[in-house]
Amino acid sequence: MLRIKCPICGLRDETEFTYGADAIVRRPDMDETNPQDWLNYVFYRDDPKGPHKEYWHHVQGCRQWLVLERNTLSHEIGACRLAREVPK
Amino acid sequence: MSNYSAFSIFRHALSGNKNWSRAWRDPDPKPSYDVLIVGGGGHGLATAYYLAKEHDIRNVAVIEKGWLGGGNTGRNTTIVRSNYMMPGNTMFYERSMKLWENLSQDLNFNVMLSQRGQYNLCHSPGQMDAARRRGNVMRANGIDAELFDRDEVRRRLPYLDYSDNCRFPVHGAIFQSRAGTARHDAVAWGYARAADKQGVDIIQQCEVVGYLWEDGKIIGVETTKGPIRAGKVGLAVAGHTGHLASKAGLRLPIETHALQAFVSEPLKPLIDTVISFGAAHFYISQSDKGGLVMGGDLEGYNSYAQLGGLPIVEHALGSAKALIPSLSRLRLLRQWAGVMDMSMDGSPIIAKTPVEGLYLNGGWCYGGFKATPASGWCFAWTIAKDEPHEDNCEFTLNRFEHGYQIDEKGMGPQPNAH
């Protein structure tokens, strides 16, 4: 069981959250016409073995989107911030 | 190395079973090979075997960071089937099924293939329509498929929940009688022994830490046992595909996720087939030792850790109880997890990569075990001929670029949903 420290609700079980996606990935501007940028955005991932930044939705809590730093090999949980406060 | 036979068992019994020879050699790596396969699981070993057998390329090594079959080959629920309907998938998995059917004879190693059949249950009229369509595609391609209504499923699987207050009532099932299970360890060992016999070097406890480059081309690998040069390098590393590709500067449409499986305490014979629940992601069969073998959903978040959490245990066992109420007092004996190379459309990649000298076999999601023979067969073809066989020509790396995804489940580019 992962335990995530939500900045609003405090330490909560993984079952309150829904995993979103890799938080490194950035959607291109809507007027971007280079297909390679859209290809990278939709399909391609770094898939790191180690530190990973990812979106989680505290869907059964404060309903905020969060950016969590977590290690994909050790499952060690790092900093957790509100997604809207993470610089783009 | 001698052939295994009933006579050899008898002969060795007379000498107290003291004179069996090694099943395969344990060589040190040579400085150079024609083809080097990274990953000593079923797919890698099968590739080496078919390179030697079908293409007469025998100066081949398989290198493995742990032990043979210690990754996903030994971490699955051992189900084999070929009930796929998307072009690109259908005939590939049927090739695999046909290879399975003769695999024990071909390898001279009993992989204990048991064609006990597989039911995919349907829980709504819409699912029955989808199953009928799938069955028609299969039959049009010469693959066996039968559609059963509720009464026929009830006659065949009387232990499912058919009560009036059942949350997901059984409407029927699509059945493939040639599907079944195989002993997963034996698949790794059988391919290893057969490949070794053809001259392939199998090198365990040898981890790839980087690649050897020359003029932007990969000409070998750097390992914990030193550099090994190779004309061609093939990756068959399942959950570590993204990791090893990134060392070659490649970014892939793949994420690594953990998947658990479970075995219960042993029971008297109860389930003589393979059953997939249609209302949740859950499948169950019974091993020869009597344990119920069960699998369910991914953990849902990226993971390279070969361990899973309790929420999925609860989810899978809840599904088990919803499907077969009589299992409610059953205890689990073992639980484990493997790391899956989840591709963005749920289908694999068997192709040359943009990096010269590097070939990729990955993106198996959790459908890799059944694919083992055809995966090795097609990957060997692709490496030997530098072009795909007809049966893996859709499993390209650039299909995402061109809009030719093979999304069997219609989930979209969400690797944790496939």
DSSP track, B45-112: HHHHHHHHHHH----EEEE-SS-TT-SGGGSS--EE-----STTTHHHHHHHHHHHHTHHHHHTS---
Q: Is A59 on the interface with B (CB under 8 A)?
A: no
Which residue carries 């990791």 as its tokens? B243
Positions in chain B short of pLDDT 50: none
Do both B205 and B350 map to the same domain? yes
Q: What is the predicted pLDDT for the residue at A53?
A: 97
Do both B127 and B240 map to the same domain? no
Distances (CA, A) of B82 to A34, A71, B94, B367: 39, 36, 5, 11
Strand partners, B121: B173
Alpha-helical (H) ranges within B232-367 are: 241-247, 310-323
Shortest Cα–Cα distance, B122 to chain A (Å): 27
Query: Cβ contact (<8 Å) for B344 and A48?
Result: no
User: How far apart, in whole angstroms, are the C-alpha atoms of residue B45 and residue B39?
Assistant: 8
Do both B191 and B104 map to the same domain? yes
List all residues 6 or more positions away from B60 whose beta carbon is below 8 Å from its beta carbon. B33, B34, B35, B36, B37, B48, B51, B52, B195, B199, B200, B201
Query: Which residues in A lie closer than 8 A to residue B246 (C-beta atoms)?
Result: 46-48
Q: What is the predicted pLDDT for the residue at A66?
A: 98
Do both B163 and B31 map to the same domain? no
Query: For the domain that residue B230 is a member of, what is the CATH number?
Result: 3.50.50.60
Query: Cβ contact (<8 Å) for B255 and A44?
Result: no
Query: Cβ contact (<8 Å) for B311 and A39?
Result: no
User: How far apart, in whole angstroms, are the C-alpha atoms of residue B232 and residue B239?
Assistant: 21
**Exposed, middle or buried by CB within 10 Å (0-12, 13-18, 19+), for B334?**
exposed
Residue B220 in domain: yes
Residue B2 in domain: no
Query: For the domain that residue B140 is a member of, what is the CATH number?
Result: 3.30.9.10
Shortest Cα–Cα distance, A60 to chain B (Å): 15
Number of compact structural domains in chain A: 1
Residue B370 in domain: yes
End-to-end CA distance of chain A: 30
| C-alpha dihedral, B332 to B338 to B341 to B342, nearest 10° | 20
Q: Is A1 on the interface with B (CB under 8 A)?
A: yes
Per-residue pLDDT tens over the stretch B1-18: 689 999 999 999 999 999
User: How far apart, in whole angstroms, are the C-alpha atoms of residue B363 and residue B342?
Assistant: 5
Query: For the domain that residue A57 is a member of, what is the CATH number?
Result: 3.30.2270.10
| Domain end call among B311, B343, B375 | B343
User: How far apart, in whole angstroms, are the C-alpha atoms of residue B183 and residue B178?
Assistant: 16
Residue A28 in domain: no
Q: What is the predicted pLDDT for the residue at B1?
A: 63
Query: Cβ contact (<8 Å) for B252 and A40?
Result: no
Residue A29 in domain: no
Tell me which H or E stretch contains B181. Answer: strand B180-181
User: Which domain does A13 fall in, by range?
Assistant: 3-22+37-85
Q: Which of B240, B243, B309 shows the shortest C-beta gap to A2? A: B309
Q: What is the predicted pLDDT for the residue at B7?
A: 94
Q: Which of B237, B241, B299, B302 to mutate to test the interface with A (most CBs of A within 10 A)?
A: B302
Is B244 within 8 Å of B235 (Cβ atoms)?
yes
Shortest Cα–Cα distance, B382 to chain A (Å): 23
User: Which domain does B403 fall in, by range?
Assistant: 22-109+183-252+345-417
Residue A13 in domain: yes
Q: Is A64 on the interface with B (CB under 8 A)?
A: no
**Exposed, middle or buried by CB within 10 Å (0-12, 13-18, 19+), for B287?**
middle
Q: Is A73 on the interface with B (CB under 8 A)?
A: yes
Number of compact structural domains in chain B: 2
Do both B274 and B204 map to the same domain? no
Do both B163 and B188 map to the same domain? no
Query: Cβ contact (<8 Å) for A15 and B311?
Result: yes
Shortest Cα–Cα distance, A40 to chain B (Å): 9
Do both B191 and B100 map to the same domain? yes
Among chain B, residues having any CB pair with chain A shorter than 8 Å are 240-243, 246, 251-256, 300-305, 307, 309-311, 344, 400-401, 413, 415-416
User: How far apart, in whole angstroms, are the C-alpha atoms of residue B189 and residue B24?
Assistant: 9
| Residue A87 banded pLDDT, cuts 50, 70, 90 | confident
Query: Cβ contact (<8 Å) for A2 and B256?
Result: no
Do both B91 and B199 map to the same domain? yes
Query: Which ipTM score applies to this complex?
Result: 0.96
- Token readout for B257 is 């996720």
Query: Which residues in A lie closer than 8 A to residue B302 (C-beta atoms)?
Result: 22, 47, 52, 54, 72
Residue B403 in domain: yes
* Short-list A9, A11, A22, CA closest to A63: A9
Do both B104 and B80 map to the same domain? yes
Do both B309 and B409 map to the same domain? no
* Short-list B243, B212, B204, CA closest to B39: B204
